[in-house]
């Protein structure tokens, strides 16, 4: 069965579908199966209603319960006035309600915009305004932060925003638990429709939104679950934020649900919180960013918790050093290490569970699909010789053809024939595995958290004492990279503390606030007059090496 992306009133404008012939090929190949995310859950709930789907704090939701709650929430949202095609910013910590809300929106055909818990006023306000969101879903408090205060500010700035839905104590807003109605008949979205928006780490002044369809996302989830050998007895522990593409789909929570397994939610990534859950729930698979690996390995050496159920430890989001990779393999007996190099735009690479040690330790894996097209090119888009380092371009059955409403940026971020310019510098091994050698995009990868330099520079330039600004990566033993801002002052430079406070007041997420500030008389320029960031990176790296 195949339904075309819908042309109903309310269907999404501003996104680039795959060309019709390409889409048809992906369907014929059996990648796009004409199923929506909402139907996927329905199907699993029919097959095994009583199996546990999600464990979160004291809650254990069966597939049947999750399915019913999603249906009632769908009906409740409709009654509130949320319509198919509407956008809803969802910013929730690792709690079961994340899945209730997302599946309800999927079934309604309204589109979640998946914000991260770390986002603050600057980011959330942008997401709400850019997408014209009608609702914003939050938890009352988490990690010492009151999201209701943030919601109050957002609501004042966003004319489209009609509803703030709160998990927990709603204050002056609407309790999510009160959004509930008797389910009725609904047409539901088509599988080729955009299901939701992921966020890009980006490299530009404003974050980019990534439209993912039911068809394309489900393919990546299903294929990822196969690569990771998930089955109905698999237990996935989500330790990174649930909304992150890695945690959600590689194979992540959705992969575990697709396989009929169980998702266990850890509120934080620390061993203190995660290890008791691994022991109690007999977790088989989990995913970390590189900075967490040494912390976990140290904690695993003290035999306080039984981690013997772990079959696969995934690491991705930033480059894992081969030394740490080796240590992980030797420390966690019986548990395979898997490197994952992915992006919310699509392409995900995995080392395979039966890959030889050197590939698992030294490479970032190979693509999910035989129809992931990979090109490694020089600055003029000419293919480099195999084994040489170049820019990674990709196109395939689950890689987007354009960001949402970003025509000008899309012209630069995609080739004319639809390849996504990842901004990563890679090298291909004879086995077809990729090794990430660096980055051409203007971004800092702070232990897996991506920071678009231009976005932070724009905020810095808004400070009256800052005449010019350049944000670059500096090496860091713990996080791999941290951010360093080189600033040219107007007059006397203020204390770095003041600059940081200024950014926080502007509502910039904490992880984007520069880790270090260097005042300079001017910024070095390249021969074509651009800021010479290479020189700045070298300068701060040398300074740190001497310290």
How long is the chain? 547
Return the range that interacts with ligand AMP (CB under 6 A); candidates 80-88, 225-233, 315-323, 538-546.
315-323
Q: Nearest Cα to 203, choosing from 367, 350, 406, 399?
A: 406
Q: Does 318 bind ligand AMP (CB under 6 A)?
A: yes
Separation between Cα atoms, residue 477 and residue 518, nearest integer Å: 20
Per CB under 6 A, which of residues 195..224 are in contact with ligand AMP? Answer: 200-201
Per CB under 6 A, which of residues 422..451 are in contact with ligand AMP? Answer: 422, 424, 436, 439, 445, 450
**Selected binder of ligand DBH within 85, 316, 367, 480 (CB under 6 A):** 316
Q: Nearest Cα to 94, choosing from 259, 277, 361, 304?
A: 277
Q: SS3 of 528, please?
A: coil
Rank residues 6 and 245 by Cβ distance to ligand DBH and give the closer one. 245
Q: Does 418 bind ligand AMP (CB under 6 A)?
A: no
Q: Nearest Cα to 287, choosing from 330, 339, 329, 322?
A: 339
Report, in Å, the least distance between residue 284 CB and ligand AMP: 21
- The widest CA-to-CA distance across the chain, in whole angstroms, is 69
Report, in Å, the least distance between residue 336 CB and ligand DBH: 17
419 class by beta-carbon count within 10 Å (0-12 exposed, 13-18 middle, 19+ buried): buried
Separation between Cα atoms, residue 189 and residue 196, nearest integer Å: 11
Separation between Cα atoms, residue 289 and residue 285, nearest integer Å: 14
Q: Does 455 bind ligand AMP (CB under 6 A)?
A: no
The one of ligand AMP, ligand DBH, none whose footprint includes residue 424, by CB under 5 to 8 A per kind, is: ligand AMP
Report, in Å, the least distance between residue 508 CB and ligand DBH: 20
**Selected binder of ligand AMP within 77, 113, 243, 343 (CB under 6 A):** 343
Rank residues 200 and 284 by Cβ distance to ligand DBH and give the closer one. 200
Separation between Cα atoms, residue 210 and residue 414, nearest integer Å: 13
Return the range that interacts with ligand DBH (CB under 6 A); candidates 37-45, 103-111, 235-243, 338-346.
338-346
Separation between Cα atoms, residue 524 and residue 277, nearest integer Å: 51
Residue 376 tokens read as: 């490694």
Q: Nearest Cα to 372, choosing from 335, 419, 423?
A: 419
Residue nearest to ligand DBH (CB): 342
Q: Does 344 bind ligand DBH (CB under 6 A)?
A: yes
The one of ligand DBH, ligand AMP, none whose footprint includes residue 319, by CB under 5 to 8 A per kind, is: ligand AMP
Binders of ligand AMP: how many residues, by CB under 6 A? 21
Q: Does 539 bind ligand AMP (CB under 6 A)?
A: no
Q: Does 341 bind ligand AMP (CB under 6 A)?
A: yes
Rank residues 340 and 531 by Cβ distance to ligand DBH and give the closer one. 340
Q: Return the number of other C-beta atoms located less than 10 Å from residue 370's C-beta.
A: 10
**Selected binder of ligand DBH within 254, 332, 348, 444 (CB under 6 A):** 348
Rank residues 148 and 450 by Cβ distance to ligand DBH and give the closer one. 450
Return the range that interacts with ligand AMP (CB under 6 A); candidates 188-196, 215-223, 339-347, 460-468.
339-347
**Cα dihedral across residues 107, 369, 383, 19: positive or negative:** negative
Q: Does 340 bind ligand DBH (CB under 6 A)?
A: yes
Non-local (6+) Cβ contacts of 488 within 8 A are 466, 467, 468, 469, 519, 520, 521, 522, 523
Q: Does 344 bind ligand AMP (CB under 6 A)?
A: yes
DSSP track, 264-284 = EE-SS-SHHHHHHHHHHHT--
Per CB under 6 A, which of residues 228..287 are in contact with ligand DBH? Answer: 245-246, 249-250
Residue 420 tokens read as: 């996504």
Q: Return the number of other C-beta atoms located less than 10 Å from residue 407's C-beta.
A: 10
Q: Does 319 bind ligand AMP (CB under 6 A)?
A: yes
Return the range that interacts with ligand AMP (CB under 6 A); candidates 272-280, 342-350, 403-411, 499-507.
342-350
The one of ligand AMP, ligand DBH, none whose footprint includes residue 74, by CB under 5 to 8 A per kind, is: none
Alpha helices of 81-192 — where are they, by DSSP H? Answer: 97-108, 121-131, 147-157
Return the range that interacts with ligand AMP (CB under 6 A); candidates 154-162, 338-346, 412-420, 467-475.
338-346
Report, in Å, the least distance between residue 228 CB and ligand AMP: 15
Separation between Cα atoms, residue 127 and residue 18, nearest integer Å: 24
**Selected binder of ligand DBH within 164, 195, 235, 343 (CB under 6 A):** 343
Separation between Cα atoms, residue 62 and residue 54, nearest integer Å: 7
Non-local (6+) Cβ contacts of 35 within 8 A are 43, 191, 214, 215, 218
The one of ligand AMP, ligand DBH, none whose footprint includes residue 348, by CB under 5 to 8 A per kind, is: ligand DBH
DSSP track, 165-194 = EEES--TTSEEGGG------------TTSE
The one of ligand AMP, ligand DBH, none whose footprint includes residue 26, by CB under 5 to 8 A per kind, is: none
**Facing residues of 224 across strands?**
none
Residue 446 tokens read as: 């702070």
Return the range that interacts with ligand AMP (CB under 6 A); candidates 46-54, 147-155, 301-309, 314-322.
314-322
Q: Does 134 bind ligand AMP (CB under 6 A)?
A: no
Contact residues for ligand AMP, defined by CB under 6 A = 200-201, 245, 316-319, 339-345, 364, 422, 424, 436, 439, 445, 450
Contact residues for ligand DBH, defined by CB under 6 A = 245-246, 249-250, 316-317, 340, 342-344, 348
């Amino acid at each position: 069965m195949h339904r075309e992306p819908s042309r109903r009133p309310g269907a999404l404008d501003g996104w680039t579908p795959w060309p019709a012939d390409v889409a048809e090929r992906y369907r014929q190949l059996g990648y796009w199966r004409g199923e929506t995310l909402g139907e996927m859950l329905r199907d699993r709930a029919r097959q095994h209603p009583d199996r546990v789907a999600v464990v979160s704090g004291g809650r254990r939701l069966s597939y049947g319960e999750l399915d019913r709650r999603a249906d009632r929430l769908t009906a409740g949202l409709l009654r509130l006035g949320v319509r198919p095609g509407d956008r809803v910013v969802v910013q929730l910590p690792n709690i079961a309600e994340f899945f209730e809300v997302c599946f309800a929106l999927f079934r309604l055909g309204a589109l979640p915009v998946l914000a991260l818990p770390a986002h603050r006023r600057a980011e959330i306000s942008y997401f709400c305004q850019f997408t014209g969101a009608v609702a914003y879903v939050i938890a009352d408090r988490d990690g010492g932060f009151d999201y209701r205060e943030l919601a109050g500010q957002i609501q004042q700035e966003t004319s489209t925003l009609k509803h703030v839905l709160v998990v927990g104590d709603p204050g002056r807003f609407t309790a999510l638990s009160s959004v509930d109605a008797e389910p009725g008949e609904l047409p539901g979205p088509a599988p080729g429709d955009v299901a939701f928006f992921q966020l890009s780490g980006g490299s530009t002044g404003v974050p980019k939104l990534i439209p993912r369809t039911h068809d394309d996302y489900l393919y990546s989830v299903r294929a990822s679950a196969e690569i990771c050998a998930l089955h109905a007895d698999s237990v996935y522990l989500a330790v990174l934020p649930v909304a992150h593409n890695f945690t959600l789909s590689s194979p992540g929570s959705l992969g575990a649900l697709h396989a009929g397994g169980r998702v266990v939610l850890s509120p934080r990534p620390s061993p203190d919180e995660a290890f008791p859950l691994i022991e109690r729930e007999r977790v088989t698979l989990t995913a970390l960013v590189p900075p967490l690996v040494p912390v976990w390995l140290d904690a695993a050496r003290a035999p306080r918790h039984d981690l013997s159920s772990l079959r696969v430890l995934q690491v991705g989001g930033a480059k894992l050093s081969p030394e740490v990779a080796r240590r992980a393999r030797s420390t966690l007996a019986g548990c395979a290490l898997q490197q994952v190099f992915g992006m919310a735009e699509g392409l995900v690479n995995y080392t395979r569970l039966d890959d030889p040690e050197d590939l698992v330790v030294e490479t970032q894996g190979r693509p999910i699909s035989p129809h992931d097209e990979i090109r490694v090119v020089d600055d003029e888009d000419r293919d480099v010789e195999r084994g040489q380092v170049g820019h990674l371009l990709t196109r395939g059955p689950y890689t987007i053809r354009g960001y949402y409403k970003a025509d000008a940026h899309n012209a630069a971020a995609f080739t004319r024939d639809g390849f996504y310019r990842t901004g990563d510098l890679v090298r291909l091994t004879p086995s077809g595995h990729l090794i990430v050698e660096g980055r051409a995009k203007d971004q800092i990868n702070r232990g897996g958290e991506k920071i678009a330099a231009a976005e932070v520079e724009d905020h810095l330039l808004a400070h009256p004492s800052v005449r010019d600004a350049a944000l670059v990566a500096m090496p860091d033993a713990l996080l791999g990279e941290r951010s360093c801002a080189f600033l040219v002052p107007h007059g006397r430079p203020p204390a770095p503390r003041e600059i940081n406070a200024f950014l926080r007041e502007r509502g910039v997420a904490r992880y984007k606030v520069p880790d270090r500030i260097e005042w300079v008389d001017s910024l070095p320029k390249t021969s074509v007059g651009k800021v010479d960031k290479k020189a700045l990176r070298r300068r701060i790296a040398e300074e740190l090496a001497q310290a």
